[in-house]
Structure 1
Amino acid sequence: MITAAHCELMAQYNEWMNSRLYAVCASLPDEELRKDRGAFFQSIYGTLNHIAYGDLAFLSRFTGDPNVIPEPKADLFGSFERLKSERAGLDQRILAWSASLTPAWLAEPLTYTSKIDGKTRTVAKWVLVTHMFNHETHHRGQVTTLLSQMGLDMGSTDIPFMPRFG
């Protein structure tokens, strides 16, 4: 099982990477962000939107906020500027939430119905938290690949390169 300290580290990593990723993306015009580049969620914008969807879905399951999970393919915020702003707020929520986790909470089972496949599952919360952070990292990797193909370098994406590790 993962620890609460691990969750806090992952939330810090998540916020650090998102701030850097969104800074690079903010240098691009909207048509470049929304251009279909053959990625699973077509565009950079679509992929960033999907990451936010996943975070909202898991936070809904973990905290009850939002009280309704958005639809998987919905454009959640309508513009990159709003997505960027909401992402920063979402990262702050994840940081605060991760600081509140306990071993007992992480060990509890959670029953939920996926909006992706409609199946109901019961899974230990620590497994779902692991997946939430893995989901973010996986799809950010897709965005960094798209940016790299455009000649834009994010720099290191490694946890030991976070400022806290000097």
Structure 2
Amino acid sequence: MTQRTDDFEVPLWRLGILLSALSVAGAIAAVQPIEFPHNKHVAKGLDCIDCHITVDTEAAAGLPSVRKCMLCHSKFAKTGPGVQKLLVYSKQRREVPWERVYMFEPEAQVKFQHAAHIWAKVECKTCHGEVEKMTVAQLAVRHTMGRCLTCHRERHATEDCAACHF
């Protein structure tokens, strides 16, 4: 099967390979409703846990709520296009529909616990790359079973399948 454009034909399998390669390389970033420059927030002294507040207590790190963002942006950094968009969400009492960058495929049947990794002193960058240098959050580390097992072995963590899979 091919995809026809006005100028040429491209076999769909080639497009699939290209998209897969870009995804693996981390070149495809999620399109967010508001630009969130992690590097600027880190430069201001914020840690991951300041915005991802459930990272040490729940399975998911959680994405920041509008209320959480407004705790700072109602006092500091009140201007800019991103802040203006944030204000619209706040006034409408709506949450920002952030796109997740990291997730496990459902068929992997992973029951990942951020909290367990935080308690084990695993740094965020181990699984998420150097987000503090990113202007746009993007997939920097592929979460494969091989990568997880290598890390577990290096840290002498459990390799029991039931610890991570249901």
In which range does the TM-score fall when normalised by the shorter chain? Answer: under 0.3
Q: Write 1 or 2 for the structure with the bigger share of helix.
A: 1
Larger radius of gyration: 2
TM-score relative to the length of structure 2: 0.23
